[in-house]
Amino acid sequence: MSASPENGEFGTVPALQAALHAEHAAVYAYTYVGARSGGRQRERCYEHLEAHRAQRDTLRVELNERGATPDPGRPAYELPEGDRDSDLDAYAQRVERQAAQAYLELAAAPAAAVRDLALRSLQDTTLRGMEWGTRLPVFPGFVQGTPPSQAGS
Amino acid sequence: MGNDYGAVSRRTVVAGALAGIAAAALSGCQGPRWYPSEISPDEYVLRAVITEKRRLIARYEAGVSAGDGPVDLLERVLGHHRDHLAALRERLPERPGREPEAPETEKSPGPGPAPVGDEPVPVSGLRVAEQSAAASRARQLARLSDSGLAQLVASIGACETGHARLLSEA
């Protein structure tokens, strides 16, 4: 297997690395939130932490299968505005939104198996975001909230 | 001898032609690999998603008109489906001499593209329809070559999964 893009237009490996980066950030975020929350918020946090750890491992396998070295992650990531419940909820929402954007990018991969992974992951991260209070977007994953217009393309 | 050689050749030609027709007929029966000549595989998938969207819209319109159940939620989800449909239609290729598709109006015109009963579908039925739509997106994604269209279909599938969640909580 090669780490180079399958075609000249889209690089599956960079997109997998971007998704892995989002998963590293999510694991860091939920570890942070879990240590500062309680009750149902804490339970949900650890459920989502486990889900993101599993996703991180899946992406590492996908990268290894393509001969690429998985990004090891950073020592620290962006933190929430504060430690109030509302701050932690907003932090979790942001983490899931960033993961959704990474998986939407991955959905452009030419390989059907990678697209399937991207779709399932995008669906899961959309649901997790809703659990933290995100209003369901019409087009999950698109940075601007809507797909780019085809006019003039 | 020359005549015999010629007769064999004709038989060979006829047999070859029959084999060719049989092969063509078989390949035509493979379903997903065959499309009308003017419709690309991507457009075929795109039109299938559009047809499903119209059916979903018709179901939600029936529910909203009936006024039963969580009407506010149904109207919100209906709005999502209309936005999805508009984005999908924008991807349809333009063809000279063919009228562009009419934009979606408040009500779906006439009967749906597939039979949808006039009776409002209960919320549980809508939830199942959303789950089914979201599941079909995976199959459709695998058949698309246009990466931008694949992203649009994936995003729509994620939204439909969210609809199913909202309906389950209604």
- Mean per-residue pLDDT, B38-42: 87
Distance CA B116, CA A152 (A): 36
Residue B66 in this model has a pLDDT that exceeds 80: yes
Substitution target from A125, A127, A138, A144 for chain B, most B beta carbons within 10 A: A138
Distance CA B127, CA A86 (A): 30
Pull the structure tokens for residue A143. Answer: 């940075």
- Amino acid letter at B78? L
Interchain contact B147–A (C-beta under 8 A): yes
CA distance B161 to chain A (A): 6
**pLDDT at residue A4, rounded to an integer:** 41
Residue B71 in this model has a pLDDT that exceeds 90: yes
Assess contact for B167 and B123: CB atoms under 8 A: yes
Q: pLDDT grade, residue B67 (50/70/90)? A: confident
Interchain contact A143–B (C-beta under 8 A): no
Pull the structure tokens for residue A50. Answer: 């486990």
- Cβ contact (<8 Å) for A126 and B154? no
CA distance A87 to chain B (A): 23
Q: Which of B88, B145, B45 is nearest to A146 (CA)?
A: B88
Of A9, A127, A142, the CB nearest to B162: A127
Of B91, B147, B150, the CB nearest to A150: B91
Per-residue pLDDT tens for A4-58?
444 456 899 999 999 999 999 999 999 999 999 999 999 999 999 999 999 999 9
Pull the structure tokens for residue A95. Answer: 């983490």
Contacts of B170 (CB under 8 A, 6+ apart): B69, B70, B73, B123
What is chain B's alpha carbon radius of gyration, rounded to the nearest angstrom?
23
Q: Is A111 left (phi over 0), alpha (psi -120 to 50) or beta?
A: beta
Distance CA B157, CA B135 (A): 8
What is the ipTM score, two decimals?
A: 0.91
- Mean per-residue pLDDT, A61-73: 96
**pLDDT at residue A9, rounded to an integer:** 61
Window from A39-48, B32-41, B88-97 with minimum mean pLDDT: B32-41
Substitution target from A103, A119, A134, A143 for chain B, most B beta carbons within 10 A: A119
- Cβ contact (<8 Å) for A136 and B142? no
- Mean per-residue pLDDT, B88-109: 65
- Mean per-residue pLDDT, B75-80: 98
**pLDDT at residue B118, rounded to an integer:** 66
Q: pLDDT grade, residue B35 (50/70/90)? A: low
Residue B69 in this model has a pLDDT that exceeds 90: no
Q: pLDDT grade, residue B36 (50/70/90)? A: low
Q: pLDDT grade, residue A1 (50/70/90)? A: very low
DSSP chain A: --SS-SSSS--HHHHHHHHHHHHHHHHHHHHHHHHT--HHHHHHHHHHHHHHHHHHHHHHHHHHHTTPPPP---S-----S-SSHHHHHHHHHHHHHHHHHHHHHHTT-SSHHHHHHHHHHHHHHHHHHHHTTPPPPSSTT-TTSSPPP-TT-
Of B84, B141, B148, the CB nearest to A119: B141
CA distance A19 to chain B (A): 15
> Taking CA atoms, what residue in A is nearest to B154?
A119
Distance CA B51, CA B129 (A): 13
Residue B114 in this model has a pLDDT that exceeds 80: no
- Mean per-residue pLDDT, A137-151: 89
Residues of B in contact with A112 (CB under 8 A): 141-142
Interchain contact A111–B (C-beta under 8 A): no
Per-residue pLDDT tens for A74-104?
999 999 989 999 999 999 999 999 999 999 9
C-beta atoms surrounding B156 within 10 Å: 28
> Taking CA atoms, what residue in B is nearest to A12?
B147
**pLDDT at residue A118, rounded to an integer:** 98
Q: pLDDT grade, residue B32 (50/70/90)? A: low
Q: Which of A25, A24, A20, A95 is nearest to A59 (CA)?
A: A20
Interchain contact B155–A (C-beta under 8 A): yes
Interchain contact B132–A (C-beta under 8 A): no
